[in-house]
Structures are given as structure tokens and as C-alpha cells.
Structure 1
Amino acid sequence: MLKRYSLLFFIVCYSFTHSQPITEKESEQQQDSINKKEFVKYLGNGYLPTKYFNFDLRYLIKYNQFEGVRTGIGGETNNTFSEKYRINSYVVYGFRDGRFKYSIGGGFRISEQTNTWLNLAYTDDLQETGSTKFLTDKRFFQFFEPRLLNIDLFHKHITKSVALEHEISSKLLSETELAVSEIDPTYSYGYVLNDEVFNNFNLSTAKISLQWNPFDYFEMSKTSPKKIKDGFPKFTLQYTKSFQNVFDGDFNFSKVDFRTVHRIGIKDNHFSEITLVSGLASGDAPLTHLYHAYPNNITKETILQRFSVAGLNSFETMFFNEFFSDKFVTFQFKHYLKPFYISKRYSPQLVLITRYAIGDISTPERHQNITFNSLKYGYTESGFEINKLLFGFGLSFTYRYGAYHLTEFEDNVAFKFTFNVTL
């Protein structure tokens, strides 16, 4: 019996003296690994983290046809600064238009359980005419935004807003915003209403946006659910109402915007992706708040002059400012073939693409000093991409056909770079 206790005592002592240092070392290595993953995650979301403040990489440097080079700095406070309050701001400068743009805002948390925040913001900046931003798209970051290079139609806006973020559930997010904006197009434009031409105008709007991801997978952490897998399809719905004669608002209109993204057969990077986007604007909506269907082709004579970078979900053969609609639907189908495995670090991938858009506009005569077409006959283009050929760059070829096929063959062709980098 004594021998057995002696042996047991020896085993316990040996385990304590020898396994403890190894456990501490493994713990340190595990913590370092977690810190590195968190740092890469921050970078992937467009942030450079510091102790109290996370710098926003979206504002470092960009380029477009109106501002030329646009550079600045921005960011927001993090949880180390406060878990109940936050401050966010940015300032940028456009070298071609010679003008500073900026935004300053902040918020405070109303409920931790539902992650409910009340936010205030003042923004003096530009926005692309005909574009729609969903409130729930809180983070959209790319190291390189290809469409931005070619955009030339912007409007200035000074916007004061108050917004409420609320998680109805881990799979259903909402945001509501009340805003007052002063809109001033940077191009010659007039909107005719009641025998009066508005070259600039005020808008008073209310928005509500819902993001529903019913097939995301979560696991419970100590504080809140943590997403471990993206599920598809995903749905986004947004309603906008503009009020006339409320806080000096000039127009009365409403908009409904919808988007869904679905992936089929996600295995070994071999899958199909379907994206459906639609919008409907009714009432007295100016061009700034209509729809352009995501064009990405420069209005120049030859293919080589139009050679640029392909976007992620844009119509590569559709010329900028060629179409505007107050109701539209776009459909995009991408089929990602299994990557060509050449080496561990070099695996190009072929993607087959088809896009379709249809739309119309009710009162084109109200929009003065600008010429554009309707999408009522349906716009179609198809092509392919070969991605990740060299340092994230690839090639794209797209052809325009159907009702809006052009007379000259080369005007229907878009040949461009692609750029894909993920962290």
C-alpha cells in the first residue's frame, strides 16, 4: 500500500513540475495566435487598430474622375476607450476639385443585450449620383475599389443625421435614420417641378433598413453570439421616405430597395453565386436619388482607351451615365470553377459571368441638361474572368448583346484587369 501511495505521489509531483511550464508556453503561443488573427481580422475589415483608436483605411487614398487623388485620415474609438460611447470622424482632400470633405459623429449604447446604439453625425462630402447605400452595410472595405476610378457624376451633400442601430436577433439587424440634407450637383442639372427648376435642393428623409441572414451559423461566447459561418441566401430591404415642407424639404418621394445574394455548392472554392438587386422610386425623385444600374465603362473611342479595372458586381460594357431609372432590376450569375492548382501559392481561377438589367423611367422630361436612355428593353452582357494570375491581378472579358447591342463591334467589348485580395 505504501509503495502505491509513493508511486502516486511521484506521478503527481512529476506532472506538476514538468507539465506546468509547457502549459504556460502553449497558452502564450495560443494567445499570440489569437492576437494575430484579431489583427488580420481588423485589417480585413479596413481598420488599423491602436490602443484607444482604430484608423479607418478607407480614407487613406482613392481616385476618381472628379476629385482626382482623394486622400485623408479617419477612424473610430474602440472598446478600450469605451464600451458605451464611441466617436468616429474623417477628413479627406480632393486634389482636382481642391476641396476638403469631412464627417464627425458619435454614438452611445442604449442596450448591451440587443446591441442598440443611438448615433449622431454631420457630414460634408460627395456621393455618386444614382447610387444607393444600405444603412446596414456598416462595413464595406476593399483594398482597391475599381469602379471608383471611373466615376465622374457626383453631388455634394451636407447631411445631419440621427440613427438607431438595433439587433432584433443575431440573424436580423435593423437601422433607422432621420436626416436633413442640402444637395448640390457638381454637374449642370435641373429638376422641373410645378414650373420651377431646382438646380440644388433640400431633402428631409426617413429610412429604415433590415438585414436578414437566416442561414448564418452562430455559437455562444461569454458575452454574445459569435458568427462562425456565413449562410446563404442573405436578404437586405430598405425603405426611404422624403418629406416635402418638413425641415424645408423640397420633394416628396419614396424608395424601396431590395438585394439578395445566394451561393450554391460552396466546396473547394467551386460554387455559383446569384445576386439580385431591385429598386423602385415613386413621386418627385431627382436624378441624384434614382438608379444607374452599376455601369463601369468609360466613354472613350477604343478598347485600349477604355482598358481599366473590372468591378465586383458592375456592368462592364455599360457606359457611365448611359442609363437612369426610377424602377429597375439587375440579375447577376457568376460560376466559379475549381481553381487551377499549379502550385500551393499559385492557383488561378476561371469565373463565368452573365448579367441582366431591366428598368424604366416615368418622367424623363423633368430632368434637364442631361441625356440618358431607358432600360425598358433589357440589357444583357456575358463574359469571363481569370482571377489571381499575378499578385491578385487577373483579366476580364465581357461582351454586350441583345436589345442594346451597338453598331460597332468594339463598342460592345470590355477588356479589363481584375483585382482580388482577401485576408
Structure 2
Amino acid sequence: MAATMLKHFFIILCFCASSMLQAQSSSIDTNETVKDSLKRKAFIEHLGNGYFPTKYFNFDLRYLIKYNQYEALRTGLGGITNDALSKSFRINGYLVYGFGDDKFKYNAGGAYRLAKKTNTWLSASYTDDLQETGSTKFLTDKRFFQFFEPRLLNISLFHAHVTKTLGLEHQINPKLITESEFSISHIDPTYNYAYVVDNQSFSEFDISSAKFAVQWSPFSHYEDSRQGLKEVEKGFPKFTFQYTKSFKDAFKSDFNFSKFDFRTIYEFGDEKASYSQIVLVAGIANGDIPLTHLYHAYPNNINKETILQRFSVAGINSFETMYFNEFFSDKFTTLQFKHYLKPFNVSPSHKPQMVLIMRYALGSIDHPERHENITFGSLDKGYTESGFELNKLLFGFGLSFTYRYGAYHLPNIEDNIALKFTFNVTL
């Protein structure tokens, strides 16, 4: 009897041990699966932000390959150190080469974290590169990545600049981010241009300026993540403000001017069904301000004769029927309205979407006679265009149709029409 009980006890003990080992093995497998899943998710998030991550350094995909009308093919490498190397400092830079102008461009910079709680960083950089004339960038738009930047293909008006920058990022709270910058730039337009002021003609010039920007998202909700604070619930409207002041004679600066820029974005509706988006952008510049620092309305139409010759790829918030270098302003505002219809449920993986679009621009310019060797118009009569996009028809590609009407309607009907591809890919 004792032997039988011992035998049964031994069988039960072996069964319990086997069950425990299986549970432990299952737990390890589950943990490994979760870890792998998190790694894949983090990797995809990095790619979505335009980075290819490695152990200590994240390669910046924005610099791999681009094309524009001045440089033609532009290619190179760039990136930034990540938290695995240090959470207290970062080093960033890039080196690119333009085959059209046969020149290298580069940037080198670094930053040191002054306070973790407020995500306060002190940074410095040196840049020798090109910038589109008339373009305005908000400092707080720190990271904006597209796999394909369609508008860039058609840009022809650039100015070369060598810029030294000292900057400070500070987060008052998750919904209120500030960034300030002091920069010294030597600017040399790549096109035939001269700015005349006080009986002096400047074909190249120096500008020393200070910028202060604020991004306010009062209705968004944020949570901590491995990459820092992440917006988990978008709230609208969102607001961005930026003030720029240039100081004449400071570090040999040639001009004295100021700029105030504003943008607000508002969305309403259901992104899974149908929704609308309104984007309002405005800017005002006062003082002696050369063409390089004026405003355009983000035109995206090539100066060619026929519709098919102008066939290219539509931008995201650009005026598709407005020709490049057609208008410049020192005071302007643009209003863009998009209504996204509910996607067509063709199949689980194929859901094209129709977007209805209306755009309006208004602007003016003082002293256009100061800008020599270049001809452009004013937007004081109000510019309007409307159309639609049919997105994600095949492999992320779609089609757009836009028509120009109103005060700037052109005599030849074809010249008012823009027919283009669209491209939308989301990770």
C-alpha cells in the first residue's frame, strides 16, 4: 500500500513539475512575443517620423534622395544620436550633394538638455545649404516627414545661405511649447536679383535675426511614451505664433525688419467617416525686407504651356493652379478648406477617398520697385481655386483636379486647370 501511494505521489509530483515548466516556458514565450511586438511598433514609429534607428544613431530619411529644378538630383546622409548614447545631449548633422549645381551642402549641430521636466534644450548649429525663396518655417514644426515631397520637384527659386544658430527649446506644459533662436546668415540668391534700399543695391547680404515661436494645443491630450510625450488624442483648434526681428548693423547685418506669422488648424467630424479641415495662415512683414524673406502662398504649378506638360504631383496645402514665382507679398493670408468624404469600401485593403477642396489667398506688397531683375504680381484682388482629390486609388496614388477662377482667372481656359497625381501613404 505504501509503495502504491508513493508511486501515485511521484506521478502527481512529476505532473505538477511538468505543468510549472510548461507555464514558465509559455510565460517566457509570451514575454518574448510582447518584446518583439513592442520593438516592431517602435521601429515603425521611427520610420513614420522619418528615421531609420540603429543602436546609438538614427539615420534621417529626409536626406537620402530628393529632386528639384535647381539642384536636380540631391542625395546624402544625415541623422541624430538617440537616447541610448545619451539622454543629456544629442549630436545631429547631414551631408548632401546636388548634381545640378555640383555642390555639397551640410549641417552640423548639437544640443544639451538643461531640464528634463520641461524638456529644455540649448542648441547650436552651423548650416551651409539652400532655402526656397519666400518660404516661411515655424520653429516649432520640428519634425515633419513625408516619404515623397511632391512640391519640392518643381521649386526653382532658391537662395544659398551660411547660417550660425543658437537656440532654446522649452516646454511650459505638454500643450504649450516654445522655441527661440538667434541666427547670423550670409545670403546669396542663386538667381539674378538685387534689392535696392537707401540708394544701395544688394545682390547678396547679411541678416542677423531673433525668432520666438509658440505652439499651443489647448484641446489635445498627451501621455508619456518611450519617445517622450505623445499626442494620444488630437484636439482642435491648434495655434502657432512666430515673431522674427532682424537687427541692422548687428554682426554686420544689412537690414532692419520684423515679421509676425500665425497659423491655426481646425478639424471637425469623424476621421473614420467624413470630416472637414480648415487651415488659416497669415503673415505680416515691416521694414526693409528682401525677396528671400517675403511670403509666397505655396504655389505648385509649373510654368509650362499645356496641361499635360504641367502634370506633376499635388502638394498637401499648396495652391495647385498658382504658378511658381507668380506672386510675392509682405502681408498675406491664406484660407484652405478640405472636406474628406467617407472612404469608398471597395475592399478591406482598398478604400479610395474623395476630398473636396477650396483655397483662397489675399496679399499685398509695399515698394515692389525695390526688387530688381525679377517680375511678380500682388494678391490684393484675392486668389481663389477649387477642386477635388480622389486619393489612394492604387498603391497610395490618386488624382486631383483644381480650377482657378475669380479675379486672377486667366484668358486661356487651359491655363486655369491643374490635373495632377496625389500620393498618400501612412504607416
Query: Please, what TM-score do these two structures have when normalized by structure 1?
Result: 0.95
Deviates more, 1:226-235 or 1:358-367: 226-235
Matched, 1:119 2:123: yes
Structure 2: gaps spanning 5 or more residues: 1-8
Q: Deviations over 1:233-274 (max 9, x none)?
A: 111110000000100000000000111111111241521011
Structure 1: gaps spanning 5 or more residues: 1-5
Provide the secondary structure at the position in 2 that maps to 1:37.
helix
Q: Deviations over 1:342-382 (max 9, x none)?
A: 11111110000000000000111111111000000000000
Instruction: Tell me the residue number matched to 1:293.
Output: 297
Instruction: Tell me the residue number matched to 1:136.
Output: 140
Matched, 1:185 2:199: no
Q: Please list, as runs of the form range in 1=range in 2, the aligned pairs for 1:126-205 lying within 5 A after superposition.
A: 126-205=130-209
- In the TM superposition, what is the alpha-carbon distance from 1:163 to its structure 2 partner? 0.2
Matched, 1:96 2:100: yes
| Structure 1 Cα separation of the partners of residues 159 and 227 of structure 2 | 42
Amino acid of the residue matched to residue 412 of structure 1? N
Task: Return closer, same or farther for 1:254/1:413 CA change in 2, 3 Å cut-off.
Answer: same
Which residue of the other structure, out of 270, 274, 277, is the alignment partner of 1:270? 274
Amino acid of the residue matched to residue 111 of structure 1? A
Provide the secondary structure at the position in 1 that maps to 2:250.
coil
Matched, 1:207 2:203: no
Matched, 1:234 2:238: yes
Provide the secondary structure at the position in 1 that maps to 2:335.
strand
Amino acid of the residue matched to residue 229 of structure 1? E
Instruction: Tell me the residue number matched to 2:366.
Output: 362
The root-mean-square deviation of aligned C-alpha atoms, in Å, is: 1.7
| Structure 2 Cα separation of the partners of residues 412 and 248 of structure 1 | 45
Task: Return closer, same or farther for 1:121/1:214 CA change in 2, 3 Å cut-off.
Answer: same
| Structure 2 Cα separation of the partners of residues 72 and 262 of structure 1 | 36
Which residue of the other structure, out of 374, 383, 389, is the alignment partner of 2:378? 374
| Structure 1 Cα separation of the partners of residues 47 and 227 of structure 2 | 23
Matched, 1:85 2:84: no
Deviates more, 1:23-32 or 1:47-56: 23-32
Deviates more, 1:194-203 or 1:225-234: 225-234
- Give identity over the alignment, percent: 64
| Structure 2 Cα separation of the partners of residues 166 and 275 of structure 1 | 25
Instruction: Tell me the residue number matched to 1:3.
Output: none
- In the TM superposition, what is the alpha-carbon distance from 1:16 to its structure 2 partner? 4.8
Task: Return closer, same or farther for 1:108/1:419 CA change in 2, 3 Å cut-off.
Answer: same
| Structure 1 Cα separation of the partners of residues 270 and 372 of structure 2 | 48
Which residue of the other structure, out of 322, 325, 335, is the alignment partner of 1:321? 325
Which residue of the other structure, out of 416, 419, 424, is the alignment partner of 1:420? 424
| Structure 1 Cα separation of the partners of residues 146 and 391 of structure 2 | 16
What count of residue pairs does the alignment treat as equivalent? Answer: 416
- In the TM superposition, what is the alpha-carbon distance from 1:12 to its structure 2 partner? 9.3
Matched, 1:303 2:274: no
Which of the pair has more CA radius of gyration? Answer: 2
| Structure 2 Cα separation of the partners of residues 278 and 358 of structure 1 | 9
Q: Deviations over 1:99-145 (max 9, x none)?
A: 00000000111111111111000000000000001111111110000
| Structure 2 Cα separation of the partners of residues 177 and 406 of structure 1 | 42
- In the TM superposition, what is the alpha-carbon distance from 1:226 to its structure 2 partner? 3.9
Instruction: Tell me the residue number matched to 2:38.
Output: 34
Which residue of the other structure, out of 333, 338, 341, is the alignment partner of 2:337? 333
- In the TM superposition, what is the alpha-carbon distance from 1:14 to its structure 2 partner? 8.6
Q: Deviations over 1:291-320 (max 9, x none)?
A: 010000001110000000000000000000
| Structure 2 Cα separation of the partners of residues 263 and 222 of structure 1 | 28
- In the TM superposition, what is the alpha-carbon distance from 1:23 to its structure 2 partner? 2.4
Amino acid of the residue matched to residue 180 of structure 1? I
Provide the secondary structure at the position in 2 that maps to 1:400.
strand
Matched, 1:50 2:54: yes
Provide the secondary structure at the position in 2 that maps to 1:247.
helix
| Structure 1 Cα separation of the partners of residues 118 and 262 of structure 2 | 24
Provide the secondary structure at the position in 2 that maps to 1:71.
strand
Instruction: Tell me the residue number matched to 2:29.
Output: 25
| Structure 1 Cα separation of the partners of residues 408 and 52 of structure 2 | 45
Query: Please, what TM-score do these two structures have when normalized by structure 2?
Result: 0.94
| Structure 2 Cα separation of the partners of residues 344 and 39 of structure 1 | 25
